Amino acid sequence: MTKKIAKFAIHARKFDEARAEFSRRAVLKGLALGAVAAVVPVFGTQSVFAAEARGGKVLILYFSHSGNTRRLAGMIHERVGGDMVELKTVKPYPEDYDAVVDAAKQEQQAGARPEIATELSNLGDYDTVFIGYPNWWGTLPMPFFTLLERYDLSGKTVIPFCTHEGSRFGRSETDLKKLCPKARFLEGFEVRGSRVGSAGEDVAEWINGLGLSKSR
Ligand SMILES: Cc1cc2nc3c(=O)[nH]c(=O)nc-3n(C[C@H](O)[C@H](O)[C@H](O)COP(=O)(O)O)c2cc1C
């Protein structure tokens, strides 16, 4: 899977723009992965929400196609504890990179809501929900649209985390806020998928900043 990731690099025209574009051609032919990545985790000020979140049960809900986001979810879980749930679709995405890139683009253009196999039967138990995903064409993979239109996260604390190859969160946080308009958002964390393995310290600092580290 690392090999698959190493096959491409991403050109995002302006990383800071919410609508940074994902160019498939650049993925296949573009920038070397060794290029300096500006991986800047965002640290928010402590909020009353963080204080509230500390006391409650935590769910780490994530989608991952090639494993980067799954790995990041595991790193968060090590520090925060709680339960982990992987969002799965009924019809799995193709493993082939070009094929999944095309499928995801078509889904997004069609505004598709792919059928999901994941059920959140005990969502009421959780106060804090980490939501993790790869940036797919500038936002969340469409299965999250299916999920979050089905399950109501009103009143919960939501913390996004994202892996990508240059576009950072893209417009995903804006989309997430639209999908969960009555949730309370804390600062999220983003990292290049190819650098998840060396993100441990940044993850720790982010989690500590949120006040969510479990007592060890
Ligand atoms: C369908 C698809 C679309 C993608 N779109 C983007 C994008 O718009 N911007 C970006 O920086 N990376 C993009 N990527 C790269 C992934 O976000 C990145 O490799 C991520 O770490 C993959 O996570 P995963 O291993 O958990 O699936 C895309 C990858 C795929 C497969």
Per residue in 146-186, pLDDT tens?
A: 999 999 999 999 999 999 999 999 999 999 999 999 999 99
Residue with CA at minimum distance from ligand 1 atom 27: 65
CATH number of the domain within which 8 lies: 3.40.50.360
Does the residue 128 lie in any domain? yes
CA of 215 to the centre of ligand 1 (A): 33
pLDDT per position as a tens digit, 53-90: 455 799 999 999 999 999 999 999 999 999 999 999 99
The residue type found at 32 is A
Whether 18 is in a domain gets the answer yes
User: Per-residue DSSP letters for 179-198?
Assistant: HSTTSEE---EEEEGGGGGG
User: Residue 7, class by beta-carbon neighbours within 10 Å (0-12 exposed, 13-18 middle, 19+ buried)?
Assistant: exposed
* Boundaries of domain holding 46: 2-210
Residue 165 Cα, ligand 1 centroid: separation in angstroms? 6
Q: Does the structure show a pLDDT above 70 at 2?
A: no
Q: What is the DSSP string of 19-81?
A: TPPPPHHHHHHS--TTSPP------PPP-HHHHHHHHS-EEEEE--SSSHHHHHHHHHHHHH-
* Bridge partners, 190 (sequence order): 162
Q: Is 62 in the pocket of ligand 1 (CB under 6 A)?
A: no
Confidence category of residue 91, pLDDT binned at 50, 70, 90: very high
Residue 34 predicted with pLDDT over 70: no
Q: Bigger pLDDT: 22 or 144?
A: 144
pLDDT at 13 over 60: no
State if pTM tops 0.85: no
- Specify whether the backbone of 43 is left (phi greater than 0), alpha (psi in -120 to 50) or beta: beta
Mutate to test the pocket of ligand 1, among 2, 8, 22, 192 (most ligand atoms within 8 A of CB): 22
Q: Say yes or no: CB of residue 159 within 6 Å of ligand 1.
A: no
Q: Is residue 74 part of a domain?
A: yes
Ligand 1 nearest-atom number relative to CA 139: 8
Q: Which of 36, 42, 72 is nearest to 210 (CA)?
A: 42
When comparing pLDDT for 28 and 161, which is higher? 161
- In three-state secondary structure terms, 6 is helix
Using the mean position of ligand 1's atoms as its centre, give its distance from the Cα of residue 68 in Å: 9
In a domain, 12, yes or no: yes
In a domain, 21, yes or no: yes
* One-letter identity of residue 108: Q
Q: What is the rounded average pLDDT for all residues in the chain?
A: 82
Distances in Å between the Cα of 191 and the Cα atoms of 7, 150, 166, 167 are 18, 28, 9, 10
215 located within any domain: no
Number of domains in the chain: 1
Give CA–CA dist 44/65, Å, rounded: 29
Does residue 172's CB lie within 6 angstroms of at least one atom of ligand 1?
A: no
Q: Is residue 216, in this structure, part of any structural domain at all? A: no
Pocket test for ligand 1, best of 69, 102, 164, 198 (most atoms within 8 A of CB): 164
Q: Which of 144, 158, 131 is nearest to 104 (CA)?
A: 144
The residue nearest atom 18 of ligand 1, judged by CA position, is 164
If 0-12 CB within 10 Å is exposed, 13-18 middle and 19+ buried, where does residue 105 land? Answer: middle
List the residue whose alpha carbon is closest to atom 29 of ligand 1. 136
On whether residue 34 sits in a domain, the answer given is yes
